[in-house]
Amino acid sequence: MPFTSGKQAFLEILKQEGVEIMFGNPGTTELPLMDGLAREPGIRYILALQESVAIAMADGYAQASGKLAAVNVHTSPGLGNAMGMLYDAMKAGSPLLLTAGQHDQAMNLTEPILWSNLPPVARPYVKWSYEITRLEDLPRAVRRAAKTAKAHPTGPVFLSLPVDVLNAERQVDLLEATRIAPRIRGDKAAIEAAADLLVKAHRPILISGDAVAHGDALAEMAEVAELLGAPVYAECVPSTCSFPFTHPLYAGAFPRLGQPIRNLLMRHDLIFSVGGDMFTLSLPSDVEPMPEGLPLIHLDLDPWEIGKNYPAEVAIQGDPKATLPDLAEALRRRLSPDAVKAAKSRAFELGKARGVRIADLRKLAQAEAGRTPITPLSLVVGIADAVPDDAVVVDESISSGGGLRDLLKCQVPKGFYGLRGGGIGWGLPAALGIKLAQAGRPVVALVGDGSAMYTIQSLWTAAHDSIPVVYVIFNNASYRILKQRTLALKGFSAEDDKYVAMDLVNPRLDYVGLAKSMGVPGELVEKSADVGPAIHRGLASGGPYLVDVRIDGSFKS
């Protein structure tokens, strides 16, 4: 057993667990850890100027790398600042090890400044939360945390690190890493039952969730969809490219309101959900989204999600990549030549309809091309045409990104990331973590102006660490989505055309100026024809770059 300090033991275990980057914002209770990093070249520390930035960077890094992401914040206020982005990471299932410094235990009974009982604060948004009280327990706790974060369903974990534990020195057994094999194969009998139902359905609908992308199962999902000739929708709140955007059977994302969901499902006679939510709504609904009697087959790695809101006629716990090939084989054994022919015919018609939908979007964008301010659709088309095929797109455009999934050419699971939990401010910092994880690919982040101001400090980190992300700000000088939702209430605001605290004016925010003040160059764009060239200049710059696009803030159509 090596003679070591707590801070050295902690960092050595992180390295053994595959950690190469730590994100954070330190304070006094983190000083032992920062002192340890001074002699630890194997871990790069990325400084954020606020804790929510650190968490979202780690979230993006975890999703894009598939590795354990380490992030450290400053005791009670730092953990409090982190909670909004920790919620997003929890909803995305990102494997984060979040740590916070804690005071020396000898003084905690006196309740010193900044002290609180940290594990209960983090507990609602993590899989496991614990405070290490002895150096002897540190290896076991860190190993357990890493194993738990990476075990399915993946997600964040939290450890509180008291100063005295990090400073303590003695012989310590560092133990070894444990990883639970992720390829859980679904039950054979359940797969056969699912195949029986699917071949009998005349109008099945498929939902492909983020688990498909995170498990690298797009090809397997496409094979099943093609055998059935069925449309594939992304789940209600999709944060990945869970099905190739260019595939003829891709039908876009599910709506998030009860009546539109029901209207869509009424056209089908069976649902097959693979890792998809059932259903995450934006607003309460007087209408039940799920039509009565519509059979559901539900495959997911997380047993909590299976049958959570609607009973599944066939419920399968399994990894999509390990399980879908078995289902495909079961379908092939059952499909008659006539059924195969019918599936191909349905696929052809769905592909033709998709082509018409995209052509209509482009035709509308062309008709709007000369308008000032730029329309959101014109901006989306300009972005889709400008980004390289190998680019990673990070989307937090909120209410102005309509058509994005139809127009982008993403065909790989790590080519698109969107806001999962709904806590805005995620996009600016998450893009930095994603770029660090995929350094060889261009990264373009699309961020609403309101969202940007939650974590605008991210631009300093981008400049400080030379992280080349191109940011496109969707600037409508308002919280447009709030105006839309307030209008839908049909109350005083709708009658008086008065929307309180929803406009970002007087003064209007200068994003190019803000970026410049933090070391990031940028430019203002006010014509749709200038969108593509501005993005190209940003990508060619070799560093972080911001494009502030003035768009139409209309919200009543």
Percent of the chain with pLDDT over 70: 100
Q: Which of 171, 203, 228 is where one domain is finished?
A: 171
Contact partners, residue 113, CB within 8 Å, separation at least 6? none
Whether 183 is covered by a domain: the verdict is no
Question: What tens digit of pLDDT does each residue of 254-294 get?
Answer: 899 999 999 999 999 999 999 999 999 888 889 999 999 99
Q: What are 522's strand-pairing partners? A: 546
Whether 555 is covered by a domain: the verdict is no
Residue 535 exposed, middle or buried by CB count within 10 Å (0-12, 13-18, 19+): buried
Question: What tens digit of pLDDT does each residue of 136-170 get?
Answer: 999 999 999 999 999 999 999 999 999 999 999 99
Question: What tens digit of pLDDT does each residue of 194-204 get?
Answer: 999 999 999 99
Whether 49 is covered by a domain: the verdict is yes
**Host H or E run for residue 377:** helix 376-386
Contact assessment for residue 549 and residue 475, using Cβ atoms and an 8 Å cutoff: yes
| pLDDT at position 557 | 75
DSSP string, 113-150: TT---HHHHHGGGSS-EEE--SGGGHHHHHHHHHHHHH
| pLDDT at position 1 | 80
CATH number at residue 404: 3.40.50.970
Tell me the residue type at 315.
A
Asked if residue 137 and residue 74 are part of one domain, the reply reads: yes
| pLDDT at position 231 | 98
Q: Which of 325, 353, 381 is where one domain is finished?
A: 353
Whether 180 is covered by a domain: the verdict is no
| pLDDT at position 283 | 85
Inter-CA distances, 390 with 72, 238, 250, 412, 473, Å: 32, 20, 20, 9, 21
Percent of the chain with pLDDT over 90: 97
| pLDDT at position 148 | 98
Does residue 552 register a pLDDT over 90? yes
Asked if residue 537 and residue 420 are part of one domain, the reply reads: yes
| pLDDT at position 243 | 97
- C-alpha to C-alpha distance for 400 and 475, rounded to whole angstroms: 10
Question: What tens digit of pLDDT does each residue of 460-488 get?
Answer: 999 999 999 999 999 999 999 999 999 99
Q: Which domain holds residue 314?
A: 188-353
Q: Which one, of 157, 142, 151, 174, lies nearest residue 90 by Cα?
A: 157
Place of tokens 């400049």: 463
| pLDDT at position 313 | 98
Whether 181 is covered by a domain: the verdict is no
Asked if residue 150 and residue 52 are part of one domain, the reply reads: yes
Asked if residue 310 and residue 248 are part of one domain, the reply reads: yes
| pLDDT at position 310 | 96
Asked if residue 393 and residue 337 are part of one domain, the reply reads: no
Does residue 449 register a pLDDT over 90? yes
Asked if residue 162 and residue 203 are part of one domain, the reply reads: no
Question: What tens digit of pLDDT does each residue of 407-446 get?
Answer: 999 999 999 999 999 999 999 999 999 999 999 999 999 9
Q: What value does the mean pLDDT take over residues 127-140? A: 98
Whether 90 is covered by a domain: the verdict is yes
| pLDDT at position 352 | 97
Question: What tens digit of pLDDT does each residue of 62-100 get?
Answer: 999 999 999 999 999 999 999 999 999 999 999 999 999
Contact assessment for residue 270 and residue 195, using Cβ atoms and an 8 Å cutoff: no
Asked if residue 402 and residue 318 are part of one domain, the reply reads: no
Does residue 300 register a pLDDT over 80? yes
Alpha-helix runs per DSSP H in 286-336: 320-334
Q: How confident is the model at residue 299 (pLDDT cuts 50, 70, 90)?
A: very high
Asked if residue 237 and residue 383 are part of one domain, the reply reads: no
| pLDDT at position 90 | 98
Asked if residue 543 and residue 409 are part of one domain, the reply reads: yes
Question: What tens digit of pLDDT does each residue of 241-252 get?
Answer: 999 999 999 999
- C-alpha to C-alpha distance for 370 and 367, rounded to whole angstroms: 8
Q: How confident is the model at residue 17 (pLDDT cuts 50, 70, 90)?
A: very high
Query: If DSSP codes are grouped into helix, strand and coil, which group holds residue 27?
Result: coil
Question: What tens digit of pLDDT does each residue of 392-410 get?
Answer: 999 999 999 999 999 999 9
Does residue 551 register a pLDDT over 80? yes
Q: Which of 298, 327, 353 is where one domain is finished?
A: 353
Asked if residue 130 and residue 22 are part of one domain, the reply reads: yes
Asked if residue 220 and residue 108 are part of one domain, the reply reads: no
Whether 179 is covered by a domain: the verdict is no
Q: What value does the mean pLDDT take over residues 47-67? A: 98
Whether 556 is covered by a domain: the verdict is no
CATH number at residue 263: 3.40.50.1220
**Residue 115, both tokens:** 């002290």
Domain count, the chain: 3
Asked if residue 522 and residue 390 are part of one domain, the reply reads: yes
